C-alpha cells in the first residue's frame, strides 16, 4: 500500500521509457507489479489510470455530479470515447466549453476519485452497471433524446427474463384514495396477466400499489429511483425493494451513483427514465400539480402514449387525469384500452379467474371462509383462527390478485 509520498516510476511494460513524477493517493494499491488505478500525474497534465476500461470510465463519469447525458455525449463525441475523455489533458478539456468552474471541479474530482474503492462498493452492494453502448441496454430508453449513459441495476442474478418490450408505466399520487387504489390494482393485475412489465417509481401511494400488485400476481416490475440503488426510499417500501432486488420479482434501477440521497430536484430526471422505459404511461390518480403529470408529459414528448383513468369530479385527485384527458390522453377503464391502443396482443395462457392461484395455507383458509358468503374481517379472524395481522395482510394479497373484493365496511366476498 502506498500513500502520499512522491515516487519515480519507470516501466517499459506500460510504455513508459523515462521517469514520470507521480503523486499516489492514499489507498491506491500496486497489483501485479503495475499501478491499478487513478494516479495523479503531473506530466503532460494527464491522469494515468492504467487498466481503466471504457466501461470503468463510464462509471467514473457517472459519479461526478456535473456531467449529465448531454455533456457526456459532448465529451465522448469530441474525444472518441469515455476512456479518452477521462484521460484527456487539462488543456484539451478546456477547449470544449465545460465552463471554468465545472472544469476545475472535474479536474479535482478526477485526481481524487478512487475507482478501485468504488468498484468494491458496487460488488459489496451487488449492483450491476449497464452502459448505453451495451447491446442489453433497453431499446426503448435508448430512443429518447437524453438517455442515461449508465444505469445502476440491483436485481437477483438468477431471476427470470424481464420483457422490456411490453413495459407499461403506472404512476399517480402519493395520497391515493380507495378509488385510486382499486382501479390501480384492477388495471395493473390485468396488465400483468397480459404479460406486461410494470414500471413505476416506488413512491408512496399509487406507485407502491402498482409494484405490490405486480408482485402479488406473479408479474415483473421495475422501480426507478431518484437516488442511488443502495438507498431504500421511502423506507416504508423496504418490502417492495427487497422483492425486486433480492427475490426475483424485477429490478431496482437508477442513473444516480451509490450513496446519492433522494432530493426533490432529482425526481424529474427519474421521471423521464420511467416514461423512457415504457411503451406508454398510465396515470390512475393525481392532483393537477402531481409529479405523475411530469412523467406523462415526458412520455408525450418522447412519442409515447399517455393513458388516464377518469375519476369523481369531486375529488382533487381526479384533476390530474382529467387535465391529461383534455390534452388528448387515451381514456382508460380497463387494460384492454391500453393493449388495443398499443397494438399489443392480449395473452390467453394465464390462469382463469375460476382457478385462482393460492400460494400458502393462509390464503386457502380464508378462501374457504369466504366460499360460504361475504364476511366481515372480524368474522374471518374468528372463523379462520388466524391472527388479525395475518388475516389483514392475506386479504390484501388476495384482493391484489383479483380473487376477492372489499364490498365496503371491511366486508369481503369472492370476486
> What is the pTM for the complete model shown?
0.78
What DSSP element (H or E) covers 411? strand 411-414
Question: What is the pLDDT, as a whole number, of residue 356?
Answer: 56
Domain 361-414 has CATH 2.60.40.10: no
Lowest mean pLDDT among 306-310, 386-390, 400-404: 400-404
Residue 35: HSE in the Cβ half-sphere, 13 Å Cα cutoff: 27
Query: Is 82 exposed, middle or buried (CB count within 10 Å of its CB: 0-12, 13-18, 19+)?
Result: buried
CA–CA distance, 198 with 191 (Å, rounded to integer): 8
The mean pLDDT value for 186-205 works out to: 96
pLDDT digits (tens, 9 = 90+) for 85-137: 999 999 999 998 888 999 999 999 999 999 999 999 999 999 999 999 999 99
Angle at 389 between CA 387 and CA 392, to 5 degrees: 110
How far apart, in Å, are the Cα atoms of 345 and each of 363, 394, 405? Answer: 31, 32, 28
Residue 344: HSE in the Cβ half-sphere, 13 Å Cα cutoff: 24
pLDDT digits (tens, 9 = 90+) for 46-87: 454 457 899 999 999 999 999 999 999 999 999 999 999 999
Question: What is the pLDDT, as a whole number, of residue 43?
Answer: 34
Query: Is 216 exposed, middle or buried (CB count within 10 Å of its CB: 0-12, 13-18, 19+)?
Result: buried
Reply yes or no on whether the pLDDT at 382 is more than 80: yes
Residue 352: which pLDDT band, with cuts at 50, 70 and 90?
A: very low
The mean pLDDT value for 240-246 works out to: 96
Domain extents in the chain: 6-117, 141-342, 361-414
Which of helix, strand or coil describes residue 2? strand
Show the cell assigned to 7: 515516487
Choices 3.30.420.340, 3.30.530.20, 1.10.3210.10, 3.40.50.450: CATH for 141-342: 3.40.50.450
The mean pLDDT value for 372-399 works out to: 84
Give the residue, 405 or 57, on which the prediction is more confident.
57
Matching residue, cell 402519493:
174
Beta bridge partners of 6: 23
Give the residue, 405 or 245, on which the prediction is more confident.
245
Amino acid at each position: 500500500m502506498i500513500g502520499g509520498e512522491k515516487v519515480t516510476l519507470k516501466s517499459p511494460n506500460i510504455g513508459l521509457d523515462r521517469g514520470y513524477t507521480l503523486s499516489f493517493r492514499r489507498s491506491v494499491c500496486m497489483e501485479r507489479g503495475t499501478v491499478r488505478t487513478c494516479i495523479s500525474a503531473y506530466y503532460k497534465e494527464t491522469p494515468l489510470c492504467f487498466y481503466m476500461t471504457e466501461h470503468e470510465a463510464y462509471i467514473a463519469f457517472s459519479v461526478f455530479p456535473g456531467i449529465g447525458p448531454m455533456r457526456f455525449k459532448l465529451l465522448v463525441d469530441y474525444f472518441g470515447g469515455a476512456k479518452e475523455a477521462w484521460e484527456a489533458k487539462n488543456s484539451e478539456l478546456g477547449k470544449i466549453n465545460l465552463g471554468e468552474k465545472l472544469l476545475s471541479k472535474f479536474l479535482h474530482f478526477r485526481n481524487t476519485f478512487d475507482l478501485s474503492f468504488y468498484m468494491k462498493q458496487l460488488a459489496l452492494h451487488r449492483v450491476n452497471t449497464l452502459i448505453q453502448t451495451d447491446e442489453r441496454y433497453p431499446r426503448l430508453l435508448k430512443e429518447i433524446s437524453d438517455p442515461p449513459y449508465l444505469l445502476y441495476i440491483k436485481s437477483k442474478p438468477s431471476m427470470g427474463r424481464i420483457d422490456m418490450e411490453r413495459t407499461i408505466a403506472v404512476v399517480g399520487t402519493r395520497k391515493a384514495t380507495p378509488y385510486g387504489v382499486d382501479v390501480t390494482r384492477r388495471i395493473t393485475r390485468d396488465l400483468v396477466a397480459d404479460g406486461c412489465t410494470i414500471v413505476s417509481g416506488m413512491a408512496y401511494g399509487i406507485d407502491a400499489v402498482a409494484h405490490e400488485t405486480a408482485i402479488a400476481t406473479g408479474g415483473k416490475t421495475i422501480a426507478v429511483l431518484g437516488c442511488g440503488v443502495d438507498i431504500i426510499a421511502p423506507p416504508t417500501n423496504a418490502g417492495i425493494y427487497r422483492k425486486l432486488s433480492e427475490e426475483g420479482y424485477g429490478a431496482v434501477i437508477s442513473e444516480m451513483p451509490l450513496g446519492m440521497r433522494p432530493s426533490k430536484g432529482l425526481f424529474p430526471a427519474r421521471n423521464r427514465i420511467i416514461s423512457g422505459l415504457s411503451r406508454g404511461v398510465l396515470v390512475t390518480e393525481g392532483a393537477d400539480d402531481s409529479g405523475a403529470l411530469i412523467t406523462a408529459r415526458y412520455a408525450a414528448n418522447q412519442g409515447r402514449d399517455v393513458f388516464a383513468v377518469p375519476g369523481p369530479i369531486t375529488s382533487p385527485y381526479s384533476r390530474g387525469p382529467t387535465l391529461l384527458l383534455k390534452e388528448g390522453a387515451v381514456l382508460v377503464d380497463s387494460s384492454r384500452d391500453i393493449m388495443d391502443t398499443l397494438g399489443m396482443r392480449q395473452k390467453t395462457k394465464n390462469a382463469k379467474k375460476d382457478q385462482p392461484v393460492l400460494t400458502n395455507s393462509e390464503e386457502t383458509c380464508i378462501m374457504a371462509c369466504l366460499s360460504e358468503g361475504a364476511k366481515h374481517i372480524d368474522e374471518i379472524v374468528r372463523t379462520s383462527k388466524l391472527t388479525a395481522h395475518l388475516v389483514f395482510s392475506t386479504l390484501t394479497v388476495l384482493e391484489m390478485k383479483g380473487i376477492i373484493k372489499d364490498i365496503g365496511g371491511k366486508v369481503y366476498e369472492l370476486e
